[in-house]
Chain A
Amino acid sequence: MVNAERSGTAAEPDGTADARRRARQAAAAVTDPELPMLTLADLGVLREVEADGEGGAVVAITPTYSGCPAIGAIRADLDSALRAAGFARVEVRTVLYPPWSTDMITERGRRLLAEHGVSPPGPAPRSDGPMPLSLTPRRREAHCPRCGSHTAELTSEFGSTACKALYRCTSCAEPFEHMKEI
């Protein structure tokens, strides 16, 4: 790839700022394997990207759910993308705290979810104390991504992946997925 040799800032060795910029760009463009319309940056799982000017890059990511099977694929994809961007030594670190929340999905990410037929999440429940029990389906704003109707009924809190609930639009009768608040 074309490598623009630019000098770094005064405090950094030559090339560090440029390397960091390239590493961030490469890492932020990697897409989620289960929500391929979103980049890792849109999804909010990319915590930190660092690079030195000598071919080393370190990426910190946070898993969505404890058991999310996509995390291994995400790590491999990041490794592959950064190598393709010219980094010979790539380290992908896991960060567990603070835990990922759907509140970390960017505005662009929410728009892309809706455009691709997934109803974006509302604000996540936050509690430092006991989580409130809910004997009836959680009230949430689930808009049908096909007809825009606000009337939808919950089919199941658990969908095709850990992060999604299943709804059915009562207006156009189509089923759709809602990214559930966590």
Chain B
Amino acid sequence: MTRSPAAEPNEESVYAGLVDVDGDASQWAFGAGFDDPLAGVDTTVPAGLDRTDLAAYCLMLGDDALVLAQRLAEWCSRAPELEEDVALANISLDLLGQARLLLARAAAADPRSVPELPPDSPVPAEDALALFRDPGGFRNVALAEIPNGDFAQSSLRLLLFSVWRLALLERLRASADPVLAAVAAKGVAEVAYHRDYAARWTVTLARGTAESRRRTRAGAEAVWPHAAELFAADPVELRMAGAKAGVSPEEVRPACEEVLEEVLAAADLPRPDLAAPTRVRGRAGEHTPALAALLAEMQSLAREHPRGTW
């Protein structure tokens, strides 16, 4: 077998194209002021809409996406196959993008929602929200924060989460807040792919081997108790729904039940009780101990270097 010869010294390096020969630093997008996800977007709050409620509502939807993005990223290099590793990282990235837009929207709607940092802090508002709030300040549902468990359990969590989030985003396309409506319109197409991915794995694993079926049933036992919280309305959600800018989670329950029924019938799995009393109220800042551990990891670098620019 012949080895490929070493690159000739005068041969153009494959990396040459990565470096701007003019020394223009603007190619380094991050830290160069080019990463505000709402740069140039009109963030005026429509007349008649309560800016505090709008910010709180965007934090809820943004925190759901941010916390699950972090959980999904934990799969990176640990998924059963390379393709699933890549898929989960892609889904995580979509949710992280949605979270950035929503946290930036919250900050623009009501700057008081952003944790106070020293006046000369280089940390943008979306990062201050993601990285400098304590667990009690997070408004995500517990479903997003519970540990991954095995791949089957993670698939079931992603199924339940994306069925619910898709139903919310589909309706939020008509939000009275044009920024929220635009973020939702974009997210619908993305979350539809996430839901189909999780649904197919749920059916595949539940109808696979005896072992995969046992694990999928165990996963359902771990995940289903967190289903009811998704449909329990918080006062902020109800006020936003009343102002035609948000969606009451109670309203999406029948649609979610219908989609879950189709998947779980195909998988022959027990259905979650979507009307059960809720255990934790994440929308009010109540969380399982798992969130504090997740945030400790996610926030440690930024908090150790509060003046760092990236």
Partners in one complex: yes
A124 partner residues in chain B, CB cutoff 8 A? 189
Given contacts A65-B94, A66-B98, A158-B197, contact A93 B27 (CB under 8 A): no
- B211 contacts A by Cβ under 8 Å: no
- Interface size band for B: 35 or more
B181 touches A155 (CB 8 A): no
A75 partner residues in chain B, CB cutoff 8 A? 29, 34, 39
> Which residue in B170, B182, B200 is a CB contact (below 8 Å) of A96?
B182
A60 to B42, CA, bound (A): 13
Quick one: CB contact mask for A94-109 with B, threshold 8 Å, 1 for yes? 1111111100000000
> Which residue in A91, A97, A100, A158 is a CB contact (below 8 Å) of B87?
A158
B181 partner residues in chain A, CB cutoff 8 A? 97
B190 partner residues in chain A, CB cutoff 8 A? 65-66, 182
> Which residue in A100, A135, A162 is a CB contact (below 8 Å) of B90?
A162
Task: List residues of B (163-190) whose CB comes within 8 Å of A's CBs.
Answer: 166-167, 170, 173, 178-179, 181-183, 185-190
> Which residue in B87, B101, B173, B196 is a CB contact (below 8 Å) of A134?
B196
Task: List residues of A (143-158) whose CB comes within 8 Å of B's CBs.
Answer: 155-158
Given contacts A76-B26, A135-B199, A157-B87, contact A92 B40 (CB under 8 A): yes
A156 partner residues in chain B, CB cutoff 8 A? 83-84, 86-87
B26 touches A79 (CB 8 A): yes
A68 to B200, CA, bound (A): 25
- A56 contacts B by Cβ under 8 Å: no
> Which residue in B30, B37, B40, B197 is a CB contact (below 8 Å) of A60?
B40
Quick one: CB contact mask for A37-59 with B, threshold 8 Å, 1 for yes? 00000000000000000000000
Given contacts A66-B101, A67-B96, A131-B166, contact A158 B185 (CB under 8 A): no
A73's closest neighbor in chain B, by CB? B29
- A159 contacts B by Cβ under 8 Å: yes
B34 touches A79 (CB 8 A): yes
The smallest C-beta distance from A78 to any residue of chain B, in angstroms, reads: 9
A96 touches B86 (CB 8 A): no
A160 partner residues in chain B, CB cutoff 8 A? 86
The smallest C-beta distance from B72 to any residue of chain A, in angstroms, reads: 12
A79 to B34, CA, bound (A): 10
A136 to B196, CA, bound (A): 8
B98 partner residues in chain A, CB cutoff 8 A? 66-67
B41 touches A96 (CB 8 A): yes
Given contacts A80-B24, A129-B170, A162-B93, contact A94 B39 (CB under 8 A): yes
B185 touches A98 (CB 8 A): yes
Quick one: CB contact mask for B55-97 with A, threshold 8 Å, 1 for yes? 0000000000000000000000000000110110011011111
A67's closest neighbor in chain B, by CB? B97
B39 partner residues in chain A, CB cutoff 8 A? 75, 92-94
B86 partner residues in chain A, CB cutoff 8 A? 156, 158-160
A123 partner residues in chain B, CB cutoff 8 A? none
A99 touches B197 (CB 8 A): no
A86 to B185, CA, bound (A): 37
A161 partner residues in chain B, CB cutoff 8 A? 90
A161 to B97, CA, bound (A): 14
> Which residue in A73, A96, A100, A157 is a CB contact (below 8 Å) of B193?
A157
Most chain A beta-carbon neighbours within 10 Å: one of B20, B96, B182, B199: B182
Given contacts A60-B40, A136-B200, contact A96 B186 (CB under 8 A): yes
A91 to B40, CA, bound (A): 8
A131 touches B187 (CB 8 A): no
A66 to B84, CA, bound (A): 20
Given contacts A155-B83, A158-B87, contact A72 B96 (CB under 8 A): no
Further 4 A-B residue pairs, CB within 8 A, beyond A80-B26, A95-B41, A99-B182: A65-B186, A101-B189, A158-B197, A180-B193
7 closest residue pairs by CB, A with B? A67-B97, A93-B40, A72-B29, A66-B97, A158-B87, A96-B182, A97-B182
14 contacts between A and B (CB under 8 A): A65-B93, A65-B186, A66-B101, A72-B30, A76-B32, A96-B179, A96-B183, A96-B186, A99-B182, A128-B173, A135-B262, A158-B86, A158-B197, A162-B90
